[in-house]
């Protein structure tokens, strides 16, 4: 079944890609029309280190006895005022031997300004001065390509420039080339250098996306006893610009860029909704059944604020109309009636930093958990973890390291590396189990066990005939999904949550986050109780554990 699931999922991804899904770019809030001039944008600079791991074929240190550097700069280094990242303990440079060769790097960097390369020639003997030994090309999202020729003696020179016995090209004419490191070579302890070549991006392409860098060598015939030249590439950094915008807007854009696509079982009754769908019809009780607050006696615009004033974790938000003992069908009828009040399908997003990582969480609130074990209210979530804490740089070129999928009070959650998660244009696919709303990285039938539950093994089912899809209100993405989904495709609203440490902002934008009680009816059995508040969830408190 898992093999079939993988095949069908792959087919769906290909279909959506072919039909032209557009990348969600993040919509910035627009200001109200005013007669005043539009402010001039302020930009800042980002340096994006490009990994050579996919094309590296040699080490640059002393382990290369003939063409290496003794104690070269490795790791996160600053050369010529530009930051580079050269991998440690692996092949970390791209070295062209005398035969024809090339390397391609797939990237996605917006608004590029300059590309910096740590690059030199090997066997750059004087007899080849003025020879075109290769070129660099940059491909852009708009379809344009920019080329730079590598000409020995103009913008590239020999890495061992001071060879008395075999004269080499040891000077550069191009002012965009400079020496940034000098040491010794392993082949005879001769002086060795690393040069940096700056290639400016033309103004027209500075507003596009740089999507590919290609390095290509042009083979030369040997001249006399001298071997033809090759190219050695040790590092690449792309300088780009970004508009200086508020941290909140950056978080919103980041949450939108990686917002999930939810695939629902064809028999699923409930969608993730605005929390008001329960709050507006609830009473707050203690475990003894004493009513502490009746929401219907509070004016609608103050209900979430009043809820946030209740911080006792032993309180329960109880749906007023019916009880859990009345059965799941009664809840389904009530839910259908509540939908007439236009409660929006909603995904709540949270973006925070911890331990040198950026965590993007997506929280889903369901009105009812209709499964082997039932309970009012249901909170589930997923989270994406990125390396680094610069939201702008992650938005520009970052990809998640891994994705966490919550399941059943977070008892049976699962973590997957990003490369193992199906996604389209940065949007991960989440397969939601029928009734329980547990999240899975692919469809299938999953057997689980829960402590204290009399049924020994319980199953979660996501369907191969998944027909209903929830996605961001991105029109090209929505249109593409409609071409492959068998049922409806709906849009959800994405709501960015503030951090509870900013109590003033929380009280203004999401006061319900301050409620510490349970989101559903009380029960003596833990698995029939409404779930705890999201802020008491272990992934909210310690997301990296």
Per-residue pLDDT in tens (0 to 9) along the chain, 545 residues: 444 454 445 545 544 554 443 333 333 333 333 344 455 566 789 999 998 888 888 888 777 777 788 889 988 999 999 999 987 765 667 766 544 478 899 999 999 999 999 999 988 889 899 999 999 999 999 999 999 999 999 999 999 888 767 789 999 999 999 999 999 988 776 899 999 999 999 999 999 999 999 999 887 776 655 678 889 899 999 999 977 778 888 999 999 999 999 999 888 999 999 999 999 999 999 988 999 999 999 999 999 999 999 999 999 999 988 888 888 899 999 999 999 999 999 999 999 999 999 999 999 999 998 887 888 999 999 999 999 999 988 988 899 999 999 987 666 789 999 999 999 989 999 999 888 899 999 887 777 766 655 555 566 677 766 678 889 888 888 888 888 787 889 999 999 999 999 999 999 999 999 999 999 887 767 667 789 899 999 999 999 98
Q: In what order do the strands lie in the sheet with 282-285?
A: 291-294, 282-285, 316-319
Position 451 scores a pLDDT of: 62
Distance from C-alpha of 377 to C-alpha of 520, rounded to nearest angstrom: 5
Phi, psi at residue 270, to the nearest 5°? -105, 145
Phi-psi region of 61 (alpha: psi -120 to 50; beta: other; left: phi over 0): beta
User: So what's the pLDDT on residue 164?
Assistant: 64
**Which residues does 287 contact at the CB level (< 8 Å), separation at least 6?**
314, 316, 522
Give the pair of three-digit tokens for residue 222.
């040997």
Contact 84, 237 (CB under 8 A): yes
Query: d(Cα 170, Cα 179) in Å, to the nearest integer?
Result: 11
By three-state DSSP, how is residue 422 classified?
coil
**Measured between alpha carbons, how far is 79 from 196 in angstroms, rounded to an integer?**
8
> Tokens representing 130?
């003025």
Question: 519: closest CA among 361, 282, 333, 344?
Answer: 282
Q: What is the pTM of this model?
A: 0.62
What span, in angstroms and rounded, lies between the C-alpha atoms of 397 and 23? 13
Which neighbouring-strand residues pair with 49? Answer: 237
- Residue linked to tokens 């911080």: 311
Which of 222, 251, 310, 250 has the alpha carbon at shortest distance from 513?
A: 310
**pLDDT of the residue at 89:** 65
C-alpha pair distances (Å), 508 with each of 497, 503, 504: 11, 9, 6
**Residues 338, 345: Cα–Cα separation, whole Å:** 12
Give me the sign of the Cα torsion angle 472, 478, 482, 488: positive
> Helices 475-484 and 2-18 meet at what angle, rounded to 10?
130
Sign of CA dihedral 404, 344, 282, 324: negative
Structure-block tokens of residue 273: 């909704």
Instruction: Please state, in angstroms and as integers, the Cα–Cα distance from residue 469 to each residue in 256, 294, 443, following that order.
Output: 17, 35, 13
Question: What tokens appear for 316 in the block?
Answer: 């329960």
- CA 469/CA 488 separation, integer angstroms: 6
pLDDT for position 35:
43
Residue-level pLDDT at 1: 46
Give the pair of three-digit tokens for residue 259. 């917002």
Query: CA-CA distance, 455 to 457, in Å (whole number)?
Result: 6
Spatial separation of the C-alpha atoms in residues 515 and 276, rounded to whole Å: 13
For residue 407, the model assigns a pLDDT of: 86
What's the per-residue H, E or C state across 265-279? CCCCCCCCECCHHHH
């Amino acid at each position: 079944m898992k093999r079939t699931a993988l095949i069908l999922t792959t087919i769906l991804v290909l279909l959506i890609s072919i039909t032209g899904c557009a990348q969600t770019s993040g919509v910035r809030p627009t200001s109200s029309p005013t007669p005043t001039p539009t402010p001039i944008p302020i930009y800042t600079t980002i340096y994006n280190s490009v990994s050579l791991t996919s094309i590296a074929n040699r080490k640059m240190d002393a382990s290369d006895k003939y063409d290496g550097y003794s104690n070269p700069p490795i790791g996160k280094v600053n050369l010529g005022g530009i930051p580079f990242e050269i991998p440690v303990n692996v092949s970390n440079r791209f070295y062209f031997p005398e035969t024809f060769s090339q390397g391609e790097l797939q990237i996605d960097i917006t608004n590029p300004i300059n590309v910096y390369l740590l690059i030199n020639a090997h066997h750059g003997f004087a007899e080849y001065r003025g020879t075109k030994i290769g070129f660099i090309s940059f491909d852009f999202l708009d379809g344009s390509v920019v080329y730079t020729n590598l000409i020995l003696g103009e913008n590239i020179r020999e890495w061992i420039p001071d060879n008395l016995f075999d004269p080499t090209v040891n000077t550069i004419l191009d002012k965009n080339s400079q020496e940034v490191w000098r040491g010794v070579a392993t082949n005879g302890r001769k002086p060795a250098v690393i040069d940096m070549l700056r290639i400016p991006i033309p103004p027209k392409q500075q507003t596009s996306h740089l999507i590919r860098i290609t390095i290509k060598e042009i083979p030369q015939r040997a001249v006399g006893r001298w071997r033809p030249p090759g190219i050695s590439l040790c590092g690449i950094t792309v300088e780009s610009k970004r508009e200086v915008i508020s941290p909140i807007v950056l978080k919103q854009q980041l949450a939108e860029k990686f917002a999930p696509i939810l695939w629902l079982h064809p028999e699923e009754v409930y969608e993730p909704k605005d929390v008001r769908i329960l709050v507006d019809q609830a009473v707050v009780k203690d475990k003894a059944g004493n009513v502490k607050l009746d929401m219907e006696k509070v004016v609608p615009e103050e209900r979430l604020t009043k809820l946030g004033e209740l911080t006792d974790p032993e309180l329960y938000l109880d749906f007023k109309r019916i009880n859990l003992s009345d059965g799941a069908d009664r809840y389904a009828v009530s839910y259908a009636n509540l939908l007439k009040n236009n409660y929006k399908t909603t995904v709540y997003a949270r973006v925070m930093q911890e331990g040198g990582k950026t965590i993007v969480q997506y929280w889903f609130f369901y009105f009812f958990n209709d499964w082997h074990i039932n309970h009012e209210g249901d909170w589930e979530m997923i989270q994406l973890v990125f390396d680094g804490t610069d939201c702008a740089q992650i938005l520009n070129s970052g990809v998640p390291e891994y994705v966490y999928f919550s399941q059943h009070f977070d008892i049976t959650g699962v973590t997957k590396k990003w490369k193992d998660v199906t996604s389209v244009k940065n949007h991960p696919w989440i397969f939601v189990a029928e009734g329980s709303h547990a999240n899975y990285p692919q469809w299938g039938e999953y057997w689980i066990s829960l402590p204290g539950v009399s049924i020994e093994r319980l199953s979660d089912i996501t369907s191969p005939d998944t027909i209903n899809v929830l996605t961001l209100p991105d029109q090209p993405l929505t249109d593409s999904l409609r071409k492959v989904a068998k049922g409806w495709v709906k849009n959800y609203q994405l709501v960015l949550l503030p951090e509870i440490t900013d109590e003033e902002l929380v009280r203004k934008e999401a006061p319900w986050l301050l409620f510490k009680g349970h989101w559903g009816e009380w029960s003596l059995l833990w698995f029939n109780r409404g779930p705890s508040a999201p802020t008491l969830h272990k992934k909210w408190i310690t997301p990296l554990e």
